[in-house]
Chains A and B, each alone.
Chain A
């Protein structure tokens, strides 16, 4: 169901033909994963080879396919560069890394197309050796491009650390560590048999608050500026809200299930 939703949404919102190509690539990959899952279940599954086992394999495969297609949707619909402009400053490096990674799929597709042109130029004998002729140059080209991009960004100052200034930066560095510690203890309290559910929940929330504060602190002390600040629009907030709610529901369900078990 999620697969269908992902595909439908993408087709509906697709803006430019160029992006559609990477969608096809992801669709093929998802189909391959699905088939692979079913095949594995058929060949190596324990128990009788009947309709139930096939259905299980199919469901498993569909779950993976749904994840793949969600990534595909993000990569196809989202304009990664505009995304960069909207992220909080503290997450800049991560956002850039994701942007560059999302860019990789179209790059790989370009290389693959070049590879197809080359194989039209030079007929190859079938077999693994021939595959090498396409795979290696494609990977080489993709790697070279990524490295060139990274070098260009570094040469223009990307990765510059703010000059350390005493108390604020030290607090800024310790806060995330503290948040993670709080989360660990909180989760432990929740999962271990005993009566500390409330304590565990409080610790989790406290950890979350600390993480948010660390983010705000880091953003403020960041030297990076933005030419055009693109604040998130209400549509962005709606999407974020849906995603966050879904995630919280899943986490809550998992936690209550685990707590119910003990």
Chain B
């Protein structure tokens, strides 16, 4: 008997699907089977309904998401479609995309115990299970630590442990590796695979970065986006996905267009930069020096927590006019006073940044910069602040082609949203653009768009500095890489 079986399952957000603008229901007459102890991957284009498929199993859809579900989902023969999530908590464990947002307790041990407390376990049994789960997931040393102090990978493991603490036989994980670097991602995937082999837990994973999982999973289910799903053994799909994962090297002409001037002059020059967070006792970034020229793409790589984002934000917050060489002491003090101290951003304590005009930054989630209802409104707003009418629109068109101005920015693809954010940031006249993890959470098609976009930016004469742990993107577009470890260049 299969551990999880879908029979003619359908899901739509409204009875009349066309009223909401969607052409078809999210899922329609889906039949799937997962055997016990299977490590299954669920993938598909963004917005296709992968997470919804997962949520249908443990009841979060439709109870938390709204919508109408039909058909049957059988767990060991019992239909559970429509049951509330807390009724199925003893059978199914669920880990969300951002595990930190689901933490209830202060320490790791209490977090692991929460589920068991709800189910009425005796304290002695709870302690025993906590020790077992901690050993299984290699978090025994972390049991007394506060959850907020853990790294991303550790938080992921604690969330998995909390989901399995009461002996659940089915684990649903939504995008476990999107925020992790290659090393942590591989460790997490190995951990999940271990769960299926040694404990016979059925693990269903939704993931964009299919190339990371291909070697580990038993089966792949593709949610097509038109309501249908196709399921098969991992080997059948491997070639197609590996091909998709590969980013072609972006070819660009190496000469620089006359607008941006001499290639040799550095657009951004950083020397001995040291950054420290408020209230911290160590430097987040220490004595980092580098320079970037116009038309060049520099990638800053390193494991999570190495200080890549801190470095980028420090470059931005210290964006002051270039000091004269003989005035280095004075300019530093002037720079510090001119520096806006933003919350959560490090303060530059030493070093010099020369960048005129000041650089522009696009944060991790580019859509955060957009808040108006239509593209034309955004472009007009950006011009009214940047000074020159029509400039943003010109940059946007250069990057993206012509797009109808009345489109809502939320309806754009991720790559187009990034282009709009970049255009808005560049409208103020910066030559250097800083990008923080532009491909986080994006599927392969969007990743290709971003790579092309970066190539186009360099072609236009901008200097691009990119902080990322996406090695495929780095190989495809970067001219140079800077390895950062614990805030230092080794």
Question: Which residues of A are interface residues toward B (Cβ below 8 A)?
Answer: 17, 79, 81-82, 113-114, 116-118, 120-125, 129, 132-133, 136-137, 145, 147-160, 223-229
**Bound form: Cα–Cα A158–B424 in Å:** 45
Cβ-defined contact, A160 with B86, below 8 A: yes
Cβ-defined contact, A224 with B118, below 8 A: yes
Does B323 make an interface contact (CB < 8 A)?
A: no
Contacts of B384 in A (CB 8 A): 125
**Bound form: Cα–Cα A152–B58 in Å:** 11
Contacts of B90 in A (CB 8 A): 157
**Bound form: Cα–Cα A228–B109 in Å:** 10
Does B221 make an interface contact (CB < 8 A)?
A: no
Does B2 make an interface contact (CB < 8 A)?
A: no
List CB contacts (< 8 Å) of B69-110 with chain A: 84-87, 89-90, 92-94, 96, 98, 101-106, 109-110
The 28 listed contacts between A and B (C-beta, < 8 Å) are A117-B342, A117-B343, A118-B369, A121-B361, A122-B382, A129-B372, A133-B372, A148-B98, A148-B101, A150-B64, A151-B60, A151-B102, A154-B60, A154-B84, A154-B85, A155-B89, A156-B89, A156-B93, A159-B86, A160-B89, A160-B119, A224-B117, A224-B120, A225-B121, A225-B122, A225-B126, A227-B110, A227-B123
Does B371 make an interface contact (CB < 8 A)?
A: yes
Cβ-defined contact, A153 with B104, below 8 A: yes
Given the known inter-chain contacts A81-B104, A149-B102, please indicate yes or no for A154 contacting B123, CB distance below 8 A: no
Does B484 make an interface contact (CB < 8 A)?
A: no
**Bound form: Cα–Cα A154–B425 in Å:** 41
List CB contacts (< 8 Å) of B332-365 with chain A: 340, 342-345, 361-363
Does B53 make an interface contact (CB < 8 A)?
A: no
**Bound form: Cα–Cα A93–B428 in Å:** 52
Contacts of B60 in A (CB 8 A): 151, 154-155
Given the known inter-chain contacts A81-B105, A148-B101, A151-B102, please indicate yes or no for A157 contacting B86, CB distance below 8 A: yes
Cβ-defined contact, B96 with A225, below 8 A: no
CB distance from A71 to the nearest CB of B (A): 21
Cβ-defined contact, B381 with A124, below 8 A: yes
Cβ-defined contact, B344 with A225, below 8 A: no
Pick the contact of B96: A148, A224, A228, A229 (CB < 8 A).
A148
**Bound form: Cα–Cα A82–B89 in Å:** 24
Cβ-defined contact, B117 with A227, below 8 A: yes
Does B213 make an interface contact (CB < 8 A)?
A: no
Cβ-defined contact, B344 with A117, below 8 A: yes
Contacts of A147 in B (CB 8 A): 64
Tell which of A82, A120, A227 has the most Cβ of chain B within 10 Å: A227
Given the known inter-chain contacts A81-B104, A158-B118, A160-B87, please indicate yes or no for A137 contacting B371, CB distance below 8 A: yes
CB distance from B389 to the nearest CB of A (A): 14
Closest to B313 in A: A117
Closest to B89 in A: A157
Contacts of B121 in A (CB 8 A): 225
CB distance from B435 to the nearest CB of A (A): 12
CB distance from B434 to the nearest CB of A (A): 10
Given the known inter-chain contacts A148-B102, A227-B126, please indicate yes or no for A160 contacting B345, CB distance below 8 A: no
**Bound form: Cα–Cα A17–B58 in Å:** 39
Pick the contact of A129: B102, B363, B381 (CB < 8 A).
B381
Contacts of B183 in A (CB 8 A): none
**Bound form: Cα–Cα A233–B63 in Å:** 40
Contacts of B118 in A (CB 8 A): 156-158, 160, 224
Contacts of B92 in A (CB 8 A): 155
**Bound form: Cα–Cα A158–B279 in Å:** 37
